[in-house]
């Protein structure tokens, strides 16, 4: 009879004789039961307990000892180490490449992009942001660190405790740790303890779950198969064998071909006319011509985005109660107006705003049903906080936020980070939309503070956009103020703070700055990094409907707002509307 003393005074009793178990086996059994004591869920604890008991009966069931199982475990550890060596060896083939080097597949090798890339070619899919990789990793102490572990650091803001940089450990010799990473000096290996810049910013070390490495090893001689969410369906994709990819990369010409890019078109508020309170607020020719003047631009996008400011509802619904009709409007577009959006290329809409509940649950449900039937991705409500969709082998994640009832709240940063980090872990490009900031012609400027309008907290758009990118967003598109605001780039990711009134017919104030808006065209790498862009200026005359503005007033407005509100921005907007990144050195 064997009794093993466990934590909290527990004992394990086995019918097997003491001499039948090696010291190593007893240690493992004890470790299993220490783990049991920490499991709070009774059902889960019983399942684990049963597994341990089966292990104790291993020889009776399978005719071999539990120690033989430990040999298998050791072999698994060897496989894991072999995979780690492959990942590091592949990383070393990139030494000397510049920071943000763009691979043949269009991946941008910044600090997290480099780590994700070398693991990805080893069959291990990691998120693209440092913060998301940190969440996935198990924290360990420096004394436990070994080859293949990750090290996480603060970014340039030393007062922040957020993860802003990471590296992979390439060797450990006593206290000496060497790490490989992509930084402003390029992709390199250097001693950790001899660089005060990094020792002063070190946050913690992390270890990826071992099953990721072990599973990757099992698949390393076969095609790696994975499942990808697309709405409610599952599609299967295959990636090439790691060794083949590695050889192809090493043997490739030093001057790579142009990497694949994606084009994103973004506009502001969309309300194509309302049949409430009566049909006199619908445009001529039943709205068929409203978007035609800008169709040639909108249809170019791989993704074309807008904010749907109202519901789709031909029939009646329960109109909301307005305490002050002078500042309260209700919008509902006929069901078939969805065809006008599809025809010009819209395939992504935010519904997180103050008008999605204008006609109660009937209006909201009808809108969601029509959008689903039309194949337009959408998000932003408690019923649909986020979504994913696929276009031309690129997987997109999308979430939208607002301060309004029934929406995903713009001021709940904890929940927002959770949603965005999750999307980052399962998507190639994460697009975030927000309905925030005070409204009106006097509200063109970014205050970098919380904005209040009619007593409602409309969030801090500047802070929210940066929080979203830190959490894993690649593009942040704002709307809500009904005027155009500045644009920016943060950590290589694009931000538009307000895209204004784009196509708002019949019931909107379109005078002065309220009547001009940009169409933003973005060229992105396949991991969401901003490459370039263009601003097309539009205007709305009379009752509304977008027209190309040959005076380029929206473009000029954004240029001026950049000078006043974000003078430190690294973006340069040319007179023809092209957006490029300045080559001058910057700390941003």
The tens digit of pLDDT for each residue in 492-531 reads 999 999 999 999 999 889 999 999 999 999 999 999 999 9
Between the alpha carbon of residue 182 and those of residues 13, 128, 277, the distances in Å are 53, 14, 59
* Distance between CA atoms of residues 543 and 294, nearest Å: 17
Per-residue confidence band for 323, with pLDDT thresholds at 50, 70 and 90? low
Per-residue confidence band for 552, with pLDDT thresholds at 50, 70 and 90? very high
pLDDT at 128: 79
pLDDT at 15: 40
Per-residue confidence band for 61, with pLDDT thresholds at 50, 70 and 90? very low
Per-residue confidence band for 438, with pLDDT thresholds at 50, 70 and 90? very high
Average pLDDT score over the chain: 82
pTM: 0.62
Q: With a cut of 50, say whether residue 16 has pLDDT above it.
A: no
Specify which residues 475 forms β-bridges with.
431, 494
Q: 């017919």: which residue's tokens?
A: 505
Per-residue confidence band for 83, with pLDDT thresholds at 50, 70 and 90? confident
Angle CA(263)–CA(269)–CA(273) in degrees, nearest 5?
Answer: 125
Per-residue confidence band for 326, with pLDDT thresholds at 50, 70 and 90? low
pLDDT at 370: 96
* 18-32, 244-258, 289-303, 405-419: the lowest-pLDDT one: 244-258
Q: 């076969």: which residue's tokens?
A: 222
Torsion on CA atoms 396, 397, 398, 401, rounded to nearest 10: -150
pLDDT at 329: 87
Count helices and strands (H / E) in the chain: 15, 32
- Whether the link from the prior residue into 153 is cis, omega within 30° of 0, is no
% the chain with pLDDT above 90: 61
Per-residue confidence band for 176, with pLDDT thresholds at 50, 70 and 90? very high
Q: In the chain, what are the domains?
A: 2-64 (no CATH), 79-228+235-251 (3.90.1720.10), 261-581 (3.60.21.10)
The answer to whether the beta carbons of residues 347 and 303 sit under 8 Å apart is yes
pLDDT at 151: 96
- Of the candidates 166, 254, 242, the residue with the CA atom closest to the CA atom of residue 204: 166
Per-residue confidence band for 45, with pLDDT thresholds at 50, 70 and 90? low
Between the alpha carbon of residue 458 and those of residues 112, 153, 309, 477, 481, the distances in Å are 32, 32, 16, 15, 10
pLDDT at 23: 42
Name the strand (E) or helix (H) holding 178.
Answer: strand 176-183
Q: With a cut of 90, say whether residue 258 has pLDDT above it.
A: no
Residue 377: other Cβ atoms inside 10 A: 25
Tokens of 365: 């449900």
pLDDT at 52: 54
* Distance between CA atoms of residues 560 and 545, nearest Å: 25
Q: Give the burial class of 19: count Cβ atoms within 10 A of its Cβ; 0-12 exposed, 13-18 middle, 19 or more buried.
A: exposed
Higher per-residue confidence, 239 vs 209? 209
Please name the residues in contact with 13: beta carbons below 8 A apart, sequence gap of 6 or more. Answer: 1, 2, 3
Alpha carbon of residue 303 to chain centroid: 16
Please name the residues in contact with 193: beta carbons below 8 A apart, sequence gap of 6 or more. Answer: 175, 176, 177, 199
* Distance between CA atoms of residues 80 and 302, nearest Å: 39
pLDDT at 26: 43
Residue range 200-231, pLDDT digits in tens: 999 999 999 866 654 544 444 433 333 323 33
Region 159-173 average pLDDT: 89
Q: With a cut of 60, say whether residue 237 has pLDDT above it.
A: no
């Amino acid at each position: 009879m064997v009794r093993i003393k466990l934590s909290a005074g527990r004992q394990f009793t086995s019918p097997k004789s003491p001499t039948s178990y090696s010291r190593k086996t007893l240690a493992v059994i004890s470790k299993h039961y220490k783990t049991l004591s920490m499991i709070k869920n009774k059902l889960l604890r019983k399942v684990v307990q049963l597994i341990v008991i089966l292990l104790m009966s291993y020889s009776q069931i399978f005719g071999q000892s539990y120690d033989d199982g430990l040999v298998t475990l050791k072999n698994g550890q060897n496989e894991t180490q072999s995979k780690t060596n492959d990942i590091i060896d592949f990383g070393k083939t990139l030494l000397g490449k510049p920071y943000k080097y763009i691979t043949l597949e269009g991946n941008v090798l910044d600090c997290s992009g480099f780590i994700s890339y070398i693991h990805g070619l080893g069959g291990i899919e990691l998120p693209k942001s440092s913060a998301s990789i940190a969440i996935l990793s198990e924290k360990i102490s420096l004394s436990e660190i070994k080859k293949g572990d990750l090290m996480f650091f603060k970014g340039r803001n030393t007062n922040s405790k957020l993860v802003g940089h990471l590296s992979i450990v390439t060797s450990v010799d006593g206290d000496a740790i060497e790490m490989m990473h992509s930084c402003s000096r390029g992709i390199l290996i250097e001693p950790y303890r001899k660089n005060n810049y990094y020792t002063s910013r070190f946050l913690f070390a992390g270890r990826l779950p071992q099953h990721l490495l072990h599973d990757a090893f099992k698949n390393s001689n076969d095609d790696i198969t994975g499942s990808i969410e697309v709405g409610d369906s599952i599609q299967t994709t295959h990636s090439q064998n790691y060794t083949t990819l590695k050889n192809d990369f090493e043997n490739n010409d030093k001057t790579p071909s142009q990497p694949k890019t994606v084009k994103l078109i973004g506009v502001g508020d969309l309300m194509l006319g309302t049949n409430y309170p009566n049909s006199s607020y619908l445009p001529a020719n039943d709205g068929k011509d409203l978007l035609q003047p800008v169709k040639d631009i909108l249809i170019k996008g791989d993704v074309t985005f807008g904010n749907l400011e109202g519901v789709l509802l031909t029939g009646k619904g329960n109109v909301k109660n307005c305490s002050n009709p002078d500042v309260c409007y209700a919008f509902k577009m006929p069901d078939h107006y969805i065809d006008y959006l599809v025809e010009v290329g819209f395939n992504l809409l935010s519904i997180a705003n103050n008008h999605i509940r204008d006609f109660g649950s009937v209006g909201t449900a009808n809108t969601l049903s029509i959008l689903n039937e039309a194949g337009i991705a959408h998000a932003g409500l408690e019923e649909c906080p986020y979504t994913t969709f696929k276009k031309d082998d690129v997987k997109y994640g999308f979430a939208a936020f607002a301060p309004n009832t029934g929406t995903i709240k713009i001021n709940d940063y904890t929940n927002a980070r959770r949603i965005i980090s999750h999307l980052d872990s399962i998507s190639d490009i994460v697009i975030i939309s927000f309905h925030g900031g005070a409204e009106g012609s006097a509200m063109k400027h970014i205050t970098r503070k919380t904005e209040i309008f009619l007593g409602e907290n409309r969030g801090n758009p500047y802070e929210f956009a940066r929080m979203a990118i830190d959490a894993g967003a690649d593009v942040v598109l704002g709307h809500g103020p009904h005027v155009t605001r500045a644009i920016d780039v943060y950590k290589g990711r694009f931000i538009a703070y307000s895209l204004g009134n784009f196509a708002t017919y019949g019931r909107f104030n379109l005078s002065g700055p309220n009547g001009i808006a940009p169409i933003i065209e973005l060229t992105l790498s396949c991991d969401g990094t901003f490459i370039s862009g263009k601003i097309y200026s539009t205007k709305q005359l009379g009752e509304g409907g977008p027209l190309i503005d040959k005076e380029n007033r929206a473009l000029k407005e954004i240029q001026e707002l950049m000078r006043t509100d974000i003078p430190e921005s690294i973006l340069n907007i040319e007179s023809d509307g092209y957006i490029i990144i300045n080559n001058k050195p910057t700390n941003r």
